[in-house]
Amino acid sequence: EAVRVLPLPRNRLLAFNQTLIMGILNVTPDSFSDGGQYYSKEEGNIKKAVEEALYMVNECDVDVIDVGGESTRPGSKEVAVEEEMKRVLPVIEEIRCVSDVPISIDTRHSAVAKAAIKAGADIINDVSGGTFDPQMLPTASSLSVPIILMHSRGTPETMSKLTNYSNVVEDVASELWDRVHDAENHGIYKWNIMLDAGIGFAKGYEENVSLLKHGNGKLRDLLQDASMLWGPSRKRFIGTIVEEEDAKERDFGTIGACLAVICGGGNTNDEMDGTKEWRRGVGCHMLRVHNVKAVKQAVMVMDAIHKAD
């Protein structure tokens, strides 16, 4: 059976024969869930961040580590490129010295992306979908690395006011296709593109749960089975459902959201050998989460059940 892959620098690849897990490593003072936990103003003090990365690799079997130096929570302000580089580059360099784990750089800035790839990162993860910095798509093309294009509107400072949709699933799909076409026009190959529906970005409660419900159904079909990353981890809509204000206490709810997008959409009408088949997880190829170990275990069980006869 053919397996979809994502090619990486240095003759490596990610194989989507199972749902992959991307572990979040924010080296910021103000991220919504773990701000300050792995950040220090003292130059060169990156020990906690690297230790967390190695924990995710050695104890949790993480597939990708996503390093970010700028909070994009609702209302957050832009971080200067120089400051963002000071936060992320030493961490990426040190992780690369001790591990070959794939690394993505979570940034809206092309200069940061370029420097991070040079430092040892493998993937660009842009929450603006390449719209914030006009040089991002040309940079990704010239580097020949994968890029994750997330759906959002406006900036973190304005996105909470941009949540009007006529049909959120159809509108998000259409706007993501615009990003794909723009990327391809800049010379980025389709197999080097992953898409992210942008849970929590320019979306309210109803929009978030609707996207998760239809992620492995209508949205997947509208996006023609594009490679998909989902990032519901600890988001506010989970807190609303479970009545939990503390983002760090939303991991159980996060597991529910992750499993929902893997199996959402239910049975399809595809006929194989005269019987209806479950199209396993093709609406979700990777999950971006804070608690890697918990989600990894849940997804392994889900994948094993889906693969059973």
| Active site residue ranges | 235, 288
Return all residues near 177 (Cβ < 8 A) that are at least 6 apart: 223
Whether the CB-CB separation of 66 and 23 falls below 8 Å is answered with: yes
CA distance linking residue 168 with residue 206, whole number of Å: 9
Secondary element (H or E) of residue 230: strand 228-230
Label residue 103 exposed, middle or buried (CB < 10 Å: 0-12, 13-18, 19+): buried
Distances (CA, A) of 151 to 31, 63, 64, 182: 19, 23, 20, 13
The CB density around residue 42, as the number of other CB atoms within 10 Å, is 6
